[in-house]
Amino acid sequence: MIKIARIDGDGIGKEVTEAGVAVLESLDLNIDFVEAEAGRECFDKNGTTIPEETIRIARNAKATLFGAITSTPGEKSPIITLRQELDTYANLRPIKSFKGVDCLFDDLDFLIVRENTEGLYSGKERLEEDKAIAHRVITRKASERISRLAFQEAIKLNKESVTCVHKSNVLKKTDGVFKDSFYNVAKDYPQIKTIDYYVDATAMYLLTKPQEFDVIVTSNLFGDILSDASAGLVGGLGLAPSGNIGDKHGLFEPVHGSAPDIAGNNISNPIAMILSVSMMLEYLNEDYLASKVKTACENVLEKGKVLTPDLGGNAKTMDVANEVIKEIEKLD
């Protein structure tokens, strides 16, 4: 029995999680889904955006599937809290062009590896009279750990280079530690080409020559911004999966938010969630099934007959999920 924590969240998080679960249930796996609460609706009901019970359920699961949440002003972020509590220190965000999808570049296939536990997302902020102060915490331990994982991913994916993204010309101490840690780890991987760019230069290169990138490793805030921007290169957030990986836990989620403006219409694109399911299957060492789910998504997109409105179609969320399931069955 594979115990999976299921956190639907708010808005379209519920819709895409239902789609992802439907795909998982179509596979020959013995899965026990344990539902847990988080998000704005959870706060309205329980007075907290993420109960301790939800954290406990995630800790005791083999992996966690997370939908999307609506932020609650003044309250802690459920997804950041989970990442920190589970020590899922690496956020993996693949950026890939799909045949059949109208996008800026049709030949992209790179990975952004984002440090997930510190930086400006550490939550260390305070108010002092008329000013607000945020502490940007960058440690050598976390920087070396995320850099090493980036090199390991490059080897796993048969990539030639790893690019370190920072701003050490301005953030001399914090990004100085990040950059130095990267090059210290790089010594153990002489077969991999190493590059480093300032984050602003990287933003420009993503628009002008994104084909140059194989694996990008960067800090928390920079990784968040660059990965969302990169999703725009290949068709939008509806196609952008992610996995939060640690030494003991895995947390998988689509990159998009809860989209309250379209919630309830059942027109949200479930492909990002289903691709996140594929990443989760790989994490669970179900490589064959992970590959089938990914290939099925690619086939549905390439055929272009069953697509949600964001991709120019008129299909409902579960229509796409069911089409993916049909493609999986054809691959048997």
Q: Hey, which residues are catalytic here?
A: 121, 167, 200, 224, 228
Report the alpha-carbon distance of residue 50 to residue 5 in Å, rounded: 14
Report the alpha-carbon distance of residue 140 to residue 152 in Å, rounded: 18
CB 3 within 8 A of CB 60: yes
For helices 12-25 and 271-283, what crossing angle results, to 10°?
50
Burial class (CB in 10 A: 0-12, 13-18, 19+), 107: exposed
- The neighbouring-strand residues paired with 217 are 113, 164
Strand 241-245 relative to strand 250-254, pairing: antiparallel
DSSP-assigned states of every residue in 174-230: HHHHHHHHHHHHHTT-TTSEEEEEEHHHHHHHHHH-GGG-SEEEE-HHHHHHHHHHH
Distance spanning both ends of the chain, measured CA to CA = 23
Report the alpha-carbon distance of residue 222 to residue 118 in Å, rounded: 12
Report the alpha-carbon distance of residue 8 to residue 99 in Å, rounded: 29
Torsional class of 252: left (φ above 0), alpha (ψ -120 to 50), beta (otherwise): beta
Report the alpha-carbon distance of residue 208 to residue 127 in Å, rounded: 40
For helices 271-283 and 287-303, what crossing angle results, to 10°?
160
Report the alpha-carbon distance of residue 21 to residue 24 in Å, rounded: 5
CB 58 within 8 A of CB 79: no
